[in-house]
Each structure stands twice: as C-alpha cells, then as structure tokens.
Structure 1
C-alpha cells in the first residue's frame, strides 16, 4: 500500500486521490500476467487501471508541481539532478512516481515486458519543467558539473588524459580531444555512453588549460567498418529492446546534460561571479562515415562542423518510432521547416556531397584532408571574442523559455513513445536481426 504520506511532506489537495488510484492500479496489475503474456482483456484492464492513476497524477501536478518541487528542493536551496528528483519525489509523495526499487526491477525486463512506470516519471518532469519557477531551477541543476567529473578533475588536470568505456579524452595544445571509442558498435549510444560523455564534457569545461573542444569518432572494430572512423550510429536499438535505455538516465539526461552543456556551458552555481555565471567553450565536431540519430543531434549544438565528403546524416525517427531528442526543436533553425520535415518525418538522408549538407556543416573535405581541416577549424575557434559571441548567438537562437517548454512536452511524449507497441515491435525485430 502507498497511501501513507511521507513524514514532512505537505498533504496537498488531491494527493490522497493520487495514492488511492496508484494503490488500485497496483492491485489490478498484481492479479494479471506479466505484460508480454497478457491477452486482449488483460491488456485492456491493465491500461484502464494505469490510465486512471495517471489521470490523477496529471491533475494533481497541474496544480501543485511548484509546491512539490519546492518541498523536494528545500525551497530551491538544493540542486537536484533528474535522477535525484524522481527518487526524492517517490520517497516524499508515495504513489506520485515509482520508487527506485520498482524502476530497478523493471530494468531487468525487456521493453516489451515492462509496465511503463517511466511514463509516471514523464508526467512529473513535464509538470516541473513547465513551471516558470521550478523549470529554470531544474535546468540549472542539470548544468552543474557531475560528482564523477569533480572526483576525476584533479587527476585529469595533472595528466590531461581520461579513458572511459566509450570516450577517450586527451588534452593537447589547449584542445580537449574527445574520441568516441565504442568501436564494436559504431559508437551507438546507451546509458554508459551518456555518462561518459557528460563526464568528458564537464572535464573539458572545467580545465583552465583547455580552450576548445573537439568531438570525433575513433576507428571501428565492427566487421563492416573495421579500421575506419565513424562518428555515431545513434541510439543503441538493441539496448532499447532489452530494456536498457531509461527515460531519466539516458533520454532526458543527454538533452539536459552534456548536449546542453556543450551549447550553454557549465553553471557555476555558488562559485559564479557578477560577470560569469557559466563556463563555456567553443566546440568542433568532425564527422567521418555517418552521424545518425543522436549523432546528428550532437551537431546541432556544435559551433563548427567538418565532414568527410563520403559521410552522411540522418534522423530516422519515422523508422524507429521515437522522438529524436531536441532535434525537432533545433533542426529547422539550420535547414528551414520543409527540409526538417523531410529529414524527421520522411527519413531523408543528407549526404555530405549534396548542396543541402552545407546547411548542416561548415566544411566538407575529402577523407584524407580531414586532419588538416580539423586543425584549421580549431585554430579559428581559439579566440577570446569567440567565447562572448557564441554565448550571445546561443542565447538568441535558443532562449531558455522555449527550450524548457519543448523539453517539458518531450519528457512525456518520449516516455509514451518508448512504450508504444509500434516501437516495441520495431526495436524487437531490429534486435533479433542484429543478434
């Protein structure tokens, strides 16, 4: 039973209805087979029970999101990251969101056999991000350096090298050279890759001896591309099918964490001064092979993009059935709305040799000329005036209020999409075909 309020949490109007509906849904689900084994009648009963509970959560948060967030953050005195926020909400407001134990148990199941409790997290985070008080506070919390980066910073300052499972970082000539090194899976993205990338970006932004950042794919060990550089194949669909792509730890963290840190810089929090609230640096991306899905999304927050002439770009949202992160929000700024719809809705692939590619990249060169083009680009970004001007460009192009509104809706829509039957079927077939 979940209908006992946590000590210290305010008994807000409507909260009792939330916990009662959550208890009722739990009783229904406990009497049914697991999701993958349910027949039509059982599926209908399960969805009706979950829908009733979600409707109560949605109504409650429409009125009380700021009060809930204020209680969880001590009136805004604590900066909670996404994972910390949903765990705190589960402890303080039973039935509002699933607890960490329930989420951990769901992580042991394939996507097709989950109840979709992450949708309840999406409802909470949508409401928080929509709030003009709570939303900016949460965005700022996600721009703070991670605990992992702060722990690794002294050693990185000393050596200028970081080796993680998916990213290698080397400081050389004032440049943080981030090499994506998942060679066996074409730099496909998963939760570990997001953690490693945020750590790498944090270190690059924190190290005073680094002036510019570079992101490039390393050489592959994958049989089809062995010995060749590849930028990124996007989300790891096999991991999504197996249930290992979480809403909070991957799909939202990458957007509000390292991708936004590349564009906006780190929030300095308590160490900010009157003239410097963020630590930002310019970034260059070098695309060899392809930038698919999340790989292409990275390019939309980068200051200068160099691509090999045989590379291509795509956002295969229609094929995968999910929302391509903040790609829908940013892409039309570069391409215009018509081409953006062709890429996102129609799955159009843009090759570097096409004229349209110049809307996405700054320079296209022959593969053998990539190294020289990269160094030229890095030299062009290495200047004090670049820092101030990129900051002003980013503010003009992506005001926080608009981004926050988009991400609020994304939190819920992406949660719904990853549990859509069409998505589960598509990624299941992909996983079976790649096994």
Structure 2
C-alpha cells in the first residue's frame, strides 16, 4: 500500500492533522486482520481511528473545498464526472480519499466485509455538492452525454434501434421507447443497468427525430411473472449483498446521471445553443405489474405516468434500510407530506386501483389497454409548446439549488447506510432467500 503523503497544495491549517490522522488509520488497518475477520475490539479500534480521520476531513473540506475542486478542474474549466473527480482527488489529495488500490481491494469483498472507504467519498462529495461554486459545476458536468452514447448515436440515428444488455431503445413515429429488459431479475437495477439507462436516455435526447420518450419494462422469464411485463423491482439487493453496488458508480451516478437528465435534459454546447444549454423532451412512464423502490423513483421525474389497473407502487426504504435516492425530495411534491411518510417510513404500498395512487399515476387503465394509453400520451406530449412549459414547471417544482443541497446530504447519508449493520443483515437475508 502506498503511504499517505501530504500534498504541497493547501498545506497548513488543518492539513498536517489530516495527514497524521489518515496515516494512523493506514498503519492500524495494515496491522489488523481483514475486515470480516476482526474481533469486536479490533473493529471498535479501527472505527475510532477512522472517525478521528473523518472529523479532520470534514474540517478541512469546510475550509478548502472550493480550492480543492478548482485545482482538480483547472478553475472549473474542465468537467470531471463523479468517478473521474474522486479518482483525481485521491491522487492529488491522498489523505482525503481512498486510493484506486484500496477501492479495488474492497470490490473483491462482500458488503459485510468491506473497509468502508466509500464513506470518505461521501464526505468529499457532500462538501463538493454543498458548495454553491463547485456543486453546480459538477451537476452541469453530469448532464453531458456519455462517451458511450456519442459513439452509438450515429447508428441509432441511422437505424432507430440500439440494444444493450439491460435496455432496448427503438424509435417509432417520433417517440423513443426505452424498454428495460433484465428479465433475469425483474429489472432490478445494478451498475450495468444504470450505465445502459443513461446511454439510452442520452440517445433519445440527442436524436432530433425523437419528440417524446417512453420508459417501460419488458416481458419477464422469472417463473412467477413469466410472459408478463414488469416495470422494475428497484435496487438489485443480491448485487448489494455481494458488494457490487457502489456509492459513486451506482447510487450517485444514477441520481445525477440518467434521472437528472430526465428532468433537466442532456447538455449541448454547440453553436446555436445560446437559448438553452440542454436538450429536453417530455417523458412517459408505462407501469405494468409493479414499480418498486428505484422503479417508483423513476416515475417521479416523468411527465405522464400510465399504470395498469393491477399494478402497484412502493418505496420500501425502511425494509431495505437505505435512502430511496431523491424519492424523499420528490414524492411529497406529488402526494403531500402525510402519504410520502406512509410510503417511505412505513412501507405503504399504493395500488393503482386506489384513489391515492392517482397522485403518482396520471392514468389507470386495464392491462390490455396499456399500448393504446401510451400512444395517446405520446400524441398529447408531442405538442410544440410542451418542452418550454415542462422546463418552466421543473424549474418551479425542483429548483436546481434545492436539488443540489439535497444530493449533498444524500451523498453522505447513503454512504453511511451502506455500511450499517441493519442494512448488511437485511440484504444478507434477502440473498439467502434467493
């Protein structure tokens, strides 16, 4: 392991104490057994040392986050996506963030056996997103199209079709149909599906022939739902148990990547873009069977939701033990505070057939009428003035600074939840049942 060394930049102030605290953690961890093999006393000793170092990191970032971010982005003239940003910061300021080697070692472990380095990433990203200077720049960077989407765009514009493992995109009559097709896991999201969804959203937004986007689940091969369409089962808890759900690559990228683009659009800085830096389009969600957890979160950023009469929506945050993304930020806007607390804190399930579900779904139809209802929605949202009006609605309902401040706190709180004993126990029981 490479020893932590102080950077010459930003030296002084709290920096020496930060360096010393980080060095103590590294020395202690190197002398202890692997995380999963530590005794209760050893775990407590490691936790105390980490807490001391994390307190120093918080103090340092409170004083220097804008200087750190400006150094990493050349005075905010270079855009670094989340993964690029934490990687660059770990190299430039090694006492602040885990190294690539430390993260690689943790990726080999189950969630229960990890060292918890992502909490330090959460501390850093809370400070960046919380900054009125650095935070907007990072959010703006995350609205850029991904290199993968730009590579696939010419073929999509030519053929009107792209198929990834998790998502199929088809353009028909001015609409882009994004079909989530992880039939092996009821469209439960993992890192691969988040990448595929952001690619698909980028393609739909960048193709000038597309006026409206539609998100729907495909037919399943799961024995219980064979041949039925399913919207989404939410986060892939089996992947979380195995250590495959990361803070940066999944939980934050999902929120600041494709979900944020569904709200704000994809950024384009080409000539003629003086009137708007993003390309936005209206979006429709078509819910068959259920939209659980992250599936329900998707509905909260769409412009029109059609649900089959036998479908239901739920955000089982209390059962899973994690924070349901920006669901806490958005659900109350749709349902009011009382219902949002019932859903998030108590696990209430909203059936499409009950009156309260109409606060989430605009239209409820019989399962066999779903295709026709989606077609009607596409026709209505194709009107020329829709894009300008949805832009103004989103600006009023979800001001960018409020979203930024929410995501700043989410970055740390979700990181802490990932390593809490109740979450580890719950996902372990789920994996055992599977």
Q: TM-score, normalised by structure 1?
A: 0.98
1:128-207 aligned at under 5 Å gives the runs 128-207=128-207
Where structure 1 has 5 or more consecutive residues not aligned to the other structure, the ranges are: none
Q: Give the direction of change, closer, same or farther, for the CA distance of 1:28–1:164 in structure 2 (3 Å limit).
A: same
Runs of 4+ in 1 over 3 A off after TM superposition: 269-272
Partners of 1:272 and 1:113 lie apart in 2 by 52
1:207-218 aligned at under 5 Å gives the runs 207-218=207-218
1:34-433 aligned at under 5 Å gives the runs 34-269=34-269, 271=271, 273-433=273-433
Shift of 1:112: 0.3
Q: What's the C-alpha RMSD, in Å, of the aligned pairs?
A: 1.1
| 1:3–1:16 contact (8 Å) kept in structure 2 | no
1:5-20 aligned at under 5 Å gives the runs 5-6=6-7, 9-11=9-11, 13-20=13-20
Partners of 1:11 and 1:206 lie apart in 2 by 44
Partners of 2:35 and 2:145 lie apart in 1 by 39
| Correspondence for 2:29 | 29
| 1:310–1:367 contact (8 Å) kept in structure 2 | yes
Query: 1:211-249: per-residue Cα shift (whole Å, max 9, x none)?
Result: 110000000011110000000000000000000000000
| 1:2–1:19 contact (8 Å) kept in structure 2 | no
Query: 1:12-40: per-residue Cα shift (whole Å, max 9, x none)?
Result: 53223222211100111112122222221
Q: TM-score, normalised by structure 2?
A: 0.98
| 2:5–2:95 contact (8 Å) kept in structure 1 | no
SS at match of 2:393: helix
Query: 1:196-218: per-residue Cα shift (whole Å, max 9, x none)?
Result: 00000001000111111000000
Shift of 1:104: 1.6
Partners of 2:372 and 2:16 lie apart in 1 by 64
Deviates more, 1:239-248 or 1:272-281: 272-281
Partners of 1:433 and 1:108 lie apart in 2 by 22
Partners of 1:184 and 1:84 lie apart in 2 by 31
Partners of 1:153 and 1:352 lie apart in 2 by 36
SS at match of 1:222: coil
2:30 matched to 1:4? no
Deviates more, 1:29-38 or 1:121-130: 29-38
Deviates more, 1:197-206 or 1:38-47: 38-47
| 1:144–1:269 contact (8 Å) kept in structure 2 | no
Shift of 1:314: 0.3
Partners of 2:84 and 2:375 lie apart in 1 by 40
| 2:6–2:95 contact (8 Å) kept in structure 1 | no
Query: 1:250-292: per-residue Cα shift (whole Å, max 9, x none)?
Result: 0000000000100110122465632121100000000000000
| 2:97–2:120 contact (8 Å) kept in structure 1 | yes
SS at match of 2:325: coil
Shift of 1:184: 1.0
| 1:156–1:162 contact (8 Å) kept in structure 2 | yes
Q: Give the direction of change, closer, same or farther, for the CA distance of 1:16–1:402 in structure 2 (3 Å limit).
A: same
SS at match of 1:4: coil
SS at match of 2:224: helix
Q: Give the direction of change, closer, same or farther, for the CA distance of 1:358–1:247 in structure 2 (3 Å limit).
A: same
| 1:231–1:288 contact (8 Å) kept in structure 2 | yes
SS at match of 1:223: coil
SS at match of 1:168: strand
| 1:111–1:242 contact (8 Å) kept in structure 2 | yes
Shift of 1:6: 4.8
Q: Give the direction of change, closer, same or farther, for the CA distance of 1:12–1:70 in structure 2 (3 Å limit).
A: farther
Shift of 1:95: 1.5
